[in-house]
Amino acid sequence: MIENIARLVNHDAAVVSAAGATRRILKVVPVVLAMVSGQASAQTILNLQSIPVFFTCLAQEPAAVDDYWNSAPTPQSEEDAQWLEEEKDRIRAWVTDSPWAECARRKKWISQDYCRDIIAGWKTGRHETARAMEKHRNEFMNLRVMFEYFEESSKAAKAGAVAPACPAD
């Protein structure tokens, strides 16, 4: 669990050790506290906001999943290599086969330009991801339905429940 949270928080390092994960979690604590107190950096907020955008872009263009994973650093251990393969399979299934992904592909909520920039940012690092979010700020502000559906679908998947119906046009 700690490793998965660390991987999500530090998305430009695809593989981390347990000790590294713990260090990264400890680094996250001030970020969480800053967010609670309203003092989180704009870059941190933009990166957190990019998570549903990134996964929706992968769902809209499933070929981007392999392209993204091919850019990941080579695992340093057999354990990390095994984790990476399991993670690839889990995410590939979620962004290609789930009812949420099918809906995202039909709706095409996010433009190809925005998706290209977000995926490139996730491959490169937090600064580039924040820049992509800022560049597409106007489009981002019009994604309310996408964000609501992403959240509802994520909660249903976590609970093992049936995904909500795809929003009407």
pLDDT of residue 136: 96
Q: Which are the contacts of 76, defined by CB distance < 8 A and separation ≥ 6?
A: 15, 17
- Token pair, residue 69, equals 């994973």
Q: In 10 A of CB 31, how many CB atoms?
A: 17
pLDDT-flagged residues of the chain (< 50): 1-27, 33, 39
Q: What is the pTM of this model?
A: 0.72
- Residue showing tokens 């909520």: 109
Whether the Cβ atoms of residue 54 and residue 47 lie closer than 8 Å to each other: no
What is the reported pLDDT for 38? 54
pLDDT at 143: 94
Domain ranges within the chain, ordered by starting residue: 41-159
Give the per-residue pLDDT at 32: 54
Question: What is the rounded CA–CA span in Å between residue 82 and residue 19?
Answer: 18
At 21-61, the pLDDT tens digits run: 434 444 455 555 455 555 458 888 888 899 999 999 999 99
Tell me, letter by letter, the H, E, C secondary structure of the chain.
CHHHHHHHHCCCCCCCCHHHHHHHHHHHHHHHHHHHCCCCCHHHHHHHHHHHHHHHHHHHCCHHHHHHHHCCCCCCCHHHHHHHHHHHHHHHHHHHHCHHHHHHHHHCCCCHHHHHHHHHHHHHCHHHHHHHHHHCHHHHCCCHHHHHHHHHHHHHHHHCCCCCCCCCC
Please state, in angstroms and rounded to a whole number, the distance separating the CA atoms of residues 104 and 126.
Answer: 24
What is the structure's pLDDT at 40?
Answer: 57
